[in-house]
Structure 1
C-alpha cells in the first residue's frame, strides 16, 4: 500500500514541496561535480522512493523519455549510486538508490580521479623518458642540459602530487579516509 495515499491533500502538498526542494538541491549539487542536473534530479527522485523502480515508472514520474531515463540510470549505475535489483514476479529491470552519501561521494571521486591520475601519470612518465633521450642525444649541450634538468624536476614534482592523489583515492576506496575525517554518524556513536 502506498503510504502517501493516507495523507491529506494539504499534507501531501507540503511533503511534495519539501521533496522537490531537496531533489532540486541534489540536482544542483551533482551539476557542480560534472553530472547533469537532470541525472541529479533522477537520483533525488529515486532517493525518496521506498521501493525499487522501473524505467517506465521513472519516465512517468519525471516526464522524461524512457531513453533519457535509461541513459541517466546507466550513468548512476556507473557511478555506483544506484543498483539494479531483482524483483519477484517482475520481468522489467528494477533499480534502487544506494543511500550512503559518504560511499557515493567516495565512489564518484575515486572513479573520476583514478582515470585522470592514470592518464596524467602515463603522460608524465613518457615525458620524463623523452627528456632522458634528449639528454642522451645531446650530452655536450650545457644549455639544453640545464633546461631539461629544470623540466625533469617540475615533472617529478607533478608525479609526486599524483602519487599523493593515488593514496587519497585509495583511502576513499578502502574507507580509510573516515579514520581521519569521521562520518557524523560515527561521531555520535
Structure 2
C-alpha cells in the first residue's frame, strides 16, 4: 500500500501515516517495495511481523527498565545527604521496592526475549 491508501483505510492523516511508516521501517516491521509504473512509495508488512514486533517491544522494555534501575540507584545513592534518618529510611525502602519491581520485570522480559529467539 502507499501512504494515501493507508490514510484512507485507517482514517488518519497523511502526516500521521508518514510518521508511523517511518517508525515501522525503523523497527524493520515493514519494507519498501517497488512496482513497475508506480511513482509513489509502496510498503508491505514483513512476513514475521508479530515476531519482530514482539522482539522490538521486549527490547524497548528492557532498555527502559535498565534506565529506570540506573535512575533509582542514583537516587538511592543521593539519599545519604538526607539528615532525617526516618525520612531517609522510608525513601530507601520505597526505592528498594521499586528496584526489586524493575528487576522482576526485567526477568520476565528476558524470559520472553529468550522464548522468542528459540
Q: How many residues align?
A: 116
Unaligned runs of 5+ in 1: 1-52, 139-143, 183-189
Is residue 145 of structure 1 aligned with residue 94 of structure 2?
A: no
Is residue 161 of structure 1 aligned with residue 101 of structure 2?
A: yes
- Say what the alpha-carbon RMSD is for the aligned residues: 3.3
How far apart in 1 are the matches of 2:2 and 2:67?
Answer: 36
How far apart in 1 are the matches of 2:109 and 2:69?
Answer: 14
Counterpart among 124, 127, 133 of residue 75 in structure 2: 127
Counterpart among 112, 115, 118 of residue 177 in structure 1: 115
4+ runs deviating over 6 angstroms: none
Counterpart among 106, 110, 113 of residue 59 in structure 2: 110
How far apart are 1:160 and its partner, in Å? 2.0
Task: Report the 3-state secondary structure (helix = DSSP H, G, I; strand = E; otherwise coil) of the residue aligned with 1:85.
Answer: strand
How far apart are 1:83 and its partner, in Å? 1.9
Quickly say closer, same or farther: Cα 1:58–1:170, change in 2 above 3 A: same
Whose relative contact order is higher, 1 or 2, with alpha carbons under 8 Å and at least 6 apart? 2
User: TM-score, length-normalised on structure 2?
Assistant: 0.65
How far apart are 1:159 and its partner, in Å? 1.0
Residue in structure 2 matched with residue 21 of structure 1 by the alignment: none
How far apart in 1 are the matches of 2:97 and 2:17?
Answer: 43
How far apart are 1:131 and its partner, in Å? 0.8
Quickly say closer, same or farther: Cα 1:56–1:131, change in 2 above 3 A: same
User: TM-score, length-normalised on structure 1?
Assistant: 0.46
Unaligned runs of 5+ in 2: none
Quickly say closer, same or farther: Cα 1:60–1:178, change in 2 above 3 A: closer
